[in-house]
Amino acid sequence: MKEEDKLSPWKNKLHEIIYEADTPMGKLFDLILFFIIIFSVILIMLESVKSIDAEYHYVLLTLEWIVTIFFTIEYIARIVCIKKPKNYIFSFYGIIDFLSTIPLYLSYIFVGSQVFLAVRALRLLRVFRILKLVQFLGEASHLKSALKASRAKIIVFLFSVLIASVILGTLMYWVEGDEAGFTSIPTSIYWTIVTLTTVGYGDIAPITPQGQFIATVIMLLGYGIIAVPTGIVTAEFGRQNKDKSNDGEPGRYVHVNTQSCPTCSKEGHRDDATHCYNCGALLNE
């Protein structure tokens, strides 16, 4: 039984390289993978620019095939070198890996499936796995925890904004009508959110005085309530900073200097200390 559980040595080696980032080889693999992912995303972007695609179609296609084959090999390697392949295949990143590799093959099998080529952009999500490994995202976890702590408030806020948008949007539809571009209630709601979030495309804009008046109210509303999510998150950050600065332990704090005890070498004495807090010996002035 135990024999079966163990991977053969070369699989073990491969697992270390692909899934971990502690060995030089593992780090190198992650670095290469990182750049290939970025490169492949740039490829997808360039393909979508008509003028570039027209001129370099075959170059881009060849490079895309090379990248796809590399990702295919990587995908197979990931399955081979793990003890329980199902754990990988049905994990979040396993599905992302599969979805971002398969479209090119599908575009040859099924005519008209070219549209799925855009799915390849999901490759970018793979970058997060690499960044996770190399502990780049220490700060992100801090951000995440602040957002998580204020999640309930943010949901209530967004919900209120949505309800206000529906009611104000309906009002604007009723006030402005087709001429100004408020052709239906959903469109009006879309416009209301465009205005409330201060995006303001201008593709639709009120033309009647009443419409402009309501728009003014919506803008001032949006300008004012942007304070709410900001206030929520800021207060949360402030709270976290405070927690961190006193290790969660409330109480008084005094300033300590860098002087070290001449007897026991202990550092961190109060500025007005005359004796070492550790051994009781006299400190130098």
Q: Which residues between 151 and 210 bind a copy of itself (CB under 8 A)?
A: 152-158, 160-161, 163, 166-167, 170-171, 173-174, 183-187, 189-190, 193-203, 205, 209
Nearer to a copy of itself, 12 or 216 (CB): 216
* Amino acid occupying residue 251: G
When binding is defined by CB under 8 A, the residue of 23, 48, 91, 265 that contacts a copy of itself is 48
Nearer to a copy of itself, 32 or 156 (CB): 156
Nearer to a copy of itself, 14 or 37 (CB): 37
Residues 219-238 that bind a copy of itself (CB under 8 A): 219-220, 222-224, 226-238
| Residue 33 in contact with a copy of itself, rule: CB under 8 A | no
| Residue 113 in contact with a copy of itself, rule: CB under 8 A | no
**CA-to-CA distance for 205 and 199, rounded, in angstroms?**
12
| Residue 73 in contact with a copy of itself, rule: CB under 8 A | no
Query: Which tokens belong to 277?
Result: 């807090």
Where does this chain touch a copy of itself (CB under 8 A) — which range of 60-68, 78-86, 97-105, 138-146? 138-146
Contacting residues for 179 by C-beta, under 8 A, at least 6 apart = 207
Nearer to a copy of itself, 8 or 284 (CB): 284
Find the shortest distance in angstroms from Cβ 32 to a copy of itself: 20
Q: With left for phi above 0 and alpha for psi between -120 and 50, is residue 135 left, alpha or beta?
A: left
| Residue 21 in contact with a copy of itself, rule: CB under 8 A | no
Do 263 and 276 meet the contact criterion of CB atoms below 8 Å apart?
yes
**Residue found under tokens 């796995």:** 129
Query: Which tokens belong to 166?
Result: 């529906």
Find the shortest distance in angstroms from Cβ 22 to a copy of itself: 23
Indicate the DSSP class of residue 283: P
| Residue 31 in contact with a copy of itself, rule: CB under 8 A | no
**CA-to-CA distance for 257 and 245, rounded, in angstroms?**
18
| Residue 28 in contact with a copy of itself, rule: CB under 8 A | no
> How big is the site for a copy of itself, counted in residues (CB under 8 A)?
108
When binding is defined by CB under 8 A, the residue of 25, 63, 99, 124 that contacts a copy of itself is 124
Find the shortest distance in angstroms from Cβ 204 to a copy of itself: 9
Query: Which tokens belong to 269?
Result: 């004495």
When binding is defined by CB under 8 A, the residue of 142, 208, 259, 260 that contacts a copy of itself is 142
Coil, helix or strand at residue 275: strand
**CA-to-CA distance for 230 and 235, rounded, in angstroms?**
8
Which letter, b or e, does each residue of 55-75 get, where b requires 16 or more Cβ atoms within 10 Å of its Cβ? eeeeebeebbeebbeebeebb
Residues 246-285 that bind a copy of itself (CB under 8 A): 246-247, 249, 251-258, 268-270, 272-282
Query: Which tokens belong to 195?
Result: 């205005």
Nearer to a copy of itself, 7 or 125 (CB): 125
> Which residues on neighbouring strands pair with residue 267, listed in sequence order?
260
| Residue 215 in contact with a copy of itself, rule: CB under 8 A | yes
DSSP readout, 23-44? SHHHHHHHHHHHHHHHHHHHHH
In this structure, how many other beta carbons lie within 10 angstroms of the beta carbon of residue 274?
A: 10
Find the shortest distance in angstroms from Cβ 106 to a copy of itself: 15
